[in-house]
Amino acid sequence: MSKNHKIRIKDRARKMGEGLCGEVIFGRNKIRTPYVDPYGRLSYITSFEEVLYHDKNIVPIGGYQFAFNKLFNIGLDQESTLRVGDLNDEAPQMKIGIQRSEYNSIHYNAETSVTNPASIVNAGVNISALNFIFGFMIGDGGAREDNITAIAPDYKRRTLFRSIPFRMSNDGTQIPQGQYFGKSKTLSGPGSMESITSYFVKKFDSLPDGGNPVRIVHVWVTDHPAEFAIVDDSVFASTSSVPIESYVEMNLSITHEDGRGFFTSTQATPRINEFGLVSGWYNGLPGKEDYESIRLFTMFTRPSIALSEGDSIEAIYRLYAR
């Protein structure tokens, strides 16, 4: 019988001096509550009927540096005293996705309009608007061998403790187009000429109606997590002292086919105990179709989730602004 783990993950700036901190909530029975987002579109907030487990995650140093890059149009570190680098790079990085020597994003250094031919070109774009958080990674190195003791996330880390691929080209499954990225090619064994492609990054889930996988939410704070009081334009004239939470929300899923090729080929114990959001820039040129500048943005570890055949995991991730 399949078990379906549900997760809610929050990153929240609680007060000055703490920065972004996260909370992961595991539960059962996902609930989708419809609401009208700040742009007037119908969307959904997700929650759980029953909470089973929760703990914190962190934004490591590379995540903070990326956030500052985006907020202030500062280019990604190249030659510097603190070069975070990309997961696309060689060891100690992972050498996944588009290799640095083939980057196309470096040529996108200005903005223009495709709808107004009269608009001028604005130079000085140091980091592309299309370089953003787009998916997540998983791993099995976030807990001790007892599977109970989680290893604390390290602010200095640039990768998960041991990332594992969601899919492999030889795992016997049909790999959906446009869902798995961060490709890495290896040979199947010593002396073999057969190339195996592993996919280390998975994109966020789309909503059932095909809506934006990332939603902006502003709600009045309540002691009942399953209740949502959406903030609208009336807030600007409100005299209420009730605090407001603002966050973006996305859904993650690990299907019963994810990770199976890795666990089978390595004979490793099927378990997952670490997660991380990643950012990157998509190179859509023919033959590329993968991400450049992949960087770890958050890191979370927990006691292992042991996986049996048919098991799956669903998650809700929230990134808080207060």
How sure is the predictor about 120, in pLDDT bands with cuts at 50, 70 and 90? very high
pLDDT higher at 222 or 231: 231
C-beta of residue 62 within 8 angstroms of C-beta of residue 82: no
How sure is the predictor about 73, in pLDDT bands with cuts at 50, 70 and 90? very high
How sure is the predictor about 7, in pLDDT bands with cuts at 50, 70 and 90? low
How sure is the predictor about 207, in pLDDT bands with cuts at 50, 70 and 90? confident
pLDDT at 212 over 60: yes
Q: Which residue type does 207 have? A: L
pLDDT tens digits, one per residue of 275-320: 999 999 999 999 999 999 999 999 999 999 999 988 888 888 888 8
The domain limits of the chain are 4-98+130-320
Token pair recorded at residue 232: 């609208």
Identify the three-state secondary structure at position 244.
Answer: strand
pLDDT at 45 over 70: yes
For the ranges 28-32, 65-69, 80-84, 290-294, the maximum mean pLDDT occurs at 290-294
Gap between the Cα atoms of 9 and 26, Å rounded: 8
